[in-house]
Amino acid sequence: MSSNSLLTSISPIFNHRPKPTSLCSFNRSTLSTSQTQFKTTFISNCSSTPTHTSKDDTPIELRFPAFPTVLDINQIREILPHRFPFLLVDRVIEYNPGVSAVGIKNVTINDNFFPGHFPERPIMPGVLMVEAMAQVGGFVLQPEMEGSRDNFFFAGIDKVRFRKPVVAGDTLVMRMTLIKLQRRFGVAKMEGKAYVGGEVVCEGEFLMALGASE
């Protein structure tokens, strides 16, 4: 076979341009002749542009709306007696007095518990997640306090489970729902669930009691 014929026969291989896909490489193709073996490997360029592009070209920073604000931090401070470093609710985003409340805690590396828990792997302590959830529960009990600043205390916690670690950068979304209220004894039973990114990270049952301020 002449060199011209050989080049003509293999030219379709070299002229072929495989269409970009999500793969970063293609199988090696081999062309053999009686005298010479030609090998070629096609490798596609990995592109940041996906094969199936979304019709929504809105930048990611504009794509997700912020949580609504029902009670801001100043209103929270007027209701809860907690202060730094134990005020663990930054915003209330849903509030049904006497029924349920949803609050958020923005977890940041500047939180004072991270240097000790743990220095090499900062994780929000589970007991502080429970405390934050209880503070959200305080809003649910406000109608029973009749607007006073009476304190509420843990009377018991049951069936608490920690599903996933909460780390700096997470937004902890906590829902507390009143299950049972014994007005005579000033005791309330509540169900709590905390989420990060829509996944449950902590849940349990809370028994809370009202106590008069001194």
Considering 16, 52, 82, 117, which one is annotated as catalytic? Answer: 117
Q: Give CA–CA dist 140/204, Å, rounded.
A: 16
Work out whether the CA dihedral 141, 143, 145, 148 comes out positive or negative: positive
| 16 is a catalytic site residue | no
Residue 25: what are its φ and ψ, rounded to 5°?
-155, 160
Which residues make Cβ contacts (< 8 Å) with residue 34, sequence separation at least 6?
1
Work out whether the CA dihedral 160, 162, 163, 169 comes out positive or negative: positive
Which helix (H) or strand (E) segment holds residue 77: the answer is helix 73-79
Which helix (H) or strand (E) segment holds residue 196: the answer is strand 187-196
Q: How far is CA 205 from CA 11, 80, 158, 168, in A?
A: 73, 21, 5, 26
Closest CA to 105 of 183, 180, 195: 195
The amino acid occupying position 190 is: M
Residues annotated as part of the active site: 117
